[in-house]
Amino acid sequence: MVYEQKFSIPEGVSIEKGEDSCISISGEKGRIDRVFAYPHAKINIASDTVTVKTDSKRNKDRAVVGTWISHISNMSKGVKEGFVYKLKIVYTHFPVTVSVSGSRVNIKNFLGGRGIMSADIIGDTKVEVKKDDVVVSGISKEEVGQTAANIERACKVKGKDRRVFQDGIYLVNKE
């Protein structure tokens, strides 16, 4: 063993190691499964700690250890507390209408345009629209962040000066 990092498992969260390096983390909000496969890194689960270690001296292998600890930490936080991203709808003249239909977010009347902009909702993420606020929530930090980025990117003003044309949907808070 050359390098290792440890993560203490919070109360109310259970972590199990399955086949093919699959880690299952479950808590009060739900369950997340993820495959951690890398030839030079190994995960050991004890009663209250998770240890990720490598036998290699290479910096890339040491970086994988830190990355995996961060993923496990984010997954355990997600199943215990969840992640909430808040976005703000900003417009100056033309009122923007945002609605959720199925696995898509539809944006109408953006900059007075007749077309409908749409953004994908990734995975089990929930999107709520309240007046000029959009709330994106879920247990996976990656899915919640990607859904918020899809909504923000769908309203990007192209070919205009962004200092003047400030309409759009912008991320204002992460919880």
**pLDDT at site 145:** 97
**pLDDT at site 21:** 86
Whether residue 107 has pLDDT greater than 90:
yes
**pLDDT at site 117:** 93
Q: Which of 76, 70, 62, 59 is nearest to 15 (CA)?
A: 76
**pLDDT at site 41:** 93
Please give the distance of CA 37 from its chain centroid, rounded to a whole number: 20
Whether residue 1 has pLDDT greater than 70:
no
Q: Please provide the DSSP assignment of 64-83 as one string.
A: HHHHHHHHHHHHHHHHHT-E
Q: What is the pLDDT of residues 110-145, one digit of tens each?
A: 988 888 999 999 999 999 999 999 999 999 999 999
Q: How far apart are alpha carbons 76 and 32 in whole angstroms?
A: 9
Tokens of residue 140, six digits: 């996976």
Query: Rounded to a whole number, what is the distance in angstroms from the first to the last CA of the chain?
Result: 36
pTM for the structure as a whole: 0.90
All structural domains of the chain:
3-80 (3.90.930.12), 83-174 (3.90.930.12)
Task: Judge whether 28 and 12 are in contact, CB under 8 Å.
Answer: yes
**pLDDT at site 8:** 96
**pLDDT at site 163:** 84
**pLDDT at site 122:** 97
**pLDDT at site 70:** 97
Local structure of 2: helix, strand or coil: coil
**Residue 166 DSSP class:** -
**pLDDT at site 158:** 84
Task: Judge whether 33 and 23 are in contact, CB under 8 Å.
Answer: yes
**pLDDT at site 157:** 84
Helices and strands (H and E) in the chain: how many: 2, 13
pLDDT averaged over every residue in the chain = 94
Neighbour count for residue 174 (Cβ, 10 Å): 13
**pLDDT at site 83:** 98
